[in-house]
């Protein structure tokens, strides 16, 4: 399923190509009607078929805790004028990074882990989203704010169904293509949210501080567990060492923030992830 990774840049390119013809109102409508609906269905299915041991649940809790810590730090001491966006950037990129990588490398089991992690620990991003909503230049209604947070309960519903009945065999079959669809459509919304021009230079210093902070803080708790001799699943490392959330720029447009700062953070996080992979790969060669 390596071909599925091609859908992400393709989706982003489609979004970039049509962004000049999509108004902010249409963008917000599409985000809340289509992407949220797909995410809710995916969360329900993943919760239904999730098989998690106590150790796995513990790993999920540790990863979620590291995200909450990172987001709080960035929201408190991040660049002035950009703290709500910086706080959200402190989270992991599950939809556009961890999920497609898990789909290709780990199959349905990896998809279930990442999706259930994303959905079960959705409260981890709720404070960051509420900060974005509270300080948003664009006013939102209670219904819109509730819609934006609706995926929070999806996996919980799926887990509730699992407590009553075992998952059907078709759940895994549907979950994989649905995960791909969510990633591809999310990439389109990302392309729609990317600002025109080259905004990197004026935000470079402030965005660099955000990326360095998240690169150091996010994997730290898992590193402690590994040093203590505990087994940490590879997919968990994928979550904490990946890119900044592409929704950083998507939500920045949704709520009327400076999308240039958001896209600069994302771009620098790509560089940081590549460097991390290079260091880890080189170290593995020497150790091996």
Numbers of helices and strands, H then E, in the chain: 16, 0
Confidence of residue 75 (pLDDT cuts 50, 70, 90): very high
Give which of 102, 121, 94, 125 is closest to 240, Cα–Cα.
Answer: 94
CA distances from 48 to 65, 123, 152, 161, 165 (A): 24, 19, 15, 6, 9
pLDDT classification of 177: cutoffs 50, 70, 90: confident
Say if residue 283's pLDDT is above 70.
no
Phi and psi dihedrals of 274, rounded to 5?
-65, -40
Task: Tell me the fold of 2-287.
Answer: Na+/H+ antiporter like fold (1.20.1530)
Tens digits of residue pLDDT in 114-147 = 877 876 676 788 888 889 988 888 877 887 777 7
pTM score, two decimals?
0.77
Give tens-digit pLDDT for 194-251: 887 665 678 889 999 999 999 999 999 999 998 998 888 888 888 888 888 888 998 8
Per-residue model confidence (pLDDT) at position 6: 73
Lowest mean pLDDT of 31-40, 48-57, 63-72, name the range.
48-57
Phi, then psi, of 209 in degrees rounded to 5: -65, -40
Query: Which of the two residues, 278 and 5, has the higher pLDDT score?
Result: 278
How many CB atoms within 10 Å of residue 144?
A: 16
Cα gap 138→257, rounded to integer Å: 8
Packed helices 220-227 and 54-77: angle between N→C axes, nearest 10 degrees: 140
Q: What is the pLDDT of residue 287?
A: 57
User: Mean of the pLDDT values across residues 263-270?
Assistant: 91
| Geometric angle at alpha carbon 248, from 185 and 150, rounded to 5° | 65
Sequence spans of domains, the chain: 2-287
What's the number of CA atoms in the CB half-sphere (13 Å) around residue 182?
27
Q: Taking phi first (over 0 means left), then psi (-120 to 50 degrees means alpha), and beta for anything else, what does residue 197 get?
A: left
pLDDT band at 1 (very low <50, low <70, confident <90, very high): low
Cα–Cα dist 252/105, whole Å: 31
- pLDDT (0 to 100) of residue 4: 62
Distance CA 276, CA 241 (A): 7
Q: Which of 28-37, 41-50, 121-130, 262-271 has the highest mean pLDDT?
A: 262-271
pLDDT in the model for residue 100: 75
| φ, ψ of residue 230 in degrees (nearest 5) | -85, 150
Q: Which residue would you say has higher pLDDT here, 255 or 94?
A: 255
């Amino acid at each position: 399923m390596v071909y599925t990774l091609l859908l992400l840049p393709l989706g982003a390119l489609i979004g970039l190509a049509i962004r000049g013809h999509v108004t902010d109102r249409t963008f917000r409508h599409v985000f809340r009607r289509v992407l949220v609906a797909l995410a809710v269905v995916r969360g329900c299915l993943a919760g239904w078929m999730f098989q998690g041991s106590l150790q796995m649940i513990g790993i999920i809790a540790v990863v979620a805790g590291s995200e909450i810590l990172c987001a709080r730090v960035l929201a408190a001491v991040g660049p002035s004028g950009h703290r709500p966006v910086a706080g959200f950037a402190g989270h992991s990129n599950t939809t556009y990074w961890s999920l497609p990588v898990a789909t290709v490398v780990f199959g349905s089991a990896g998809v279930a882990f990442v999706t259930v992690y994303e959905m079960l620990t959705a409260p981890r991003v709720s404070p960051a989203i509420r900060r974005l909503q509270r300080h948003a230049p664009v006013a939102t209604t209670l219904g819109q704010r509730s819609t934006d947070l609706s995926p929070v309960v999806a996996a919980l519903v799926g887990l509730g169904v699992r407590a009553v009945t075992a998952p059907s065999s078709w759940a895994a079959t549907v979950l994989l293509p649905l995960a791909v669809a969510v990633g591809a459509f999310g990439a389109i919304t990302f392309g729609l949210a990317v600002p025109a021009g080259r905004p990197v230079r004026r935000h470079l210093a402030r965005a660099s501080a955000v990326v360095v902070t998240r690169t150091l803080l996010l994997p730290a708790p898992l590193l402690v567990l590994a040093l203590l001799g505990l087994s940490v699943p590879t997919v968990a490392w994928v979550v904490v060492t990946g890119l900044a959330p592409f929704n950083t720029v998507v939500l920045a447009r949704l709520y009327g923030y400076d999308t240039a700062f958001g896209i600069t953070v994302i771009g620098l996080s790509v560089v940081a992830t590549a460097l991390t992979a290079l260091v880890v790969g080189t170290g593995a060669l020497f150790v091996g």
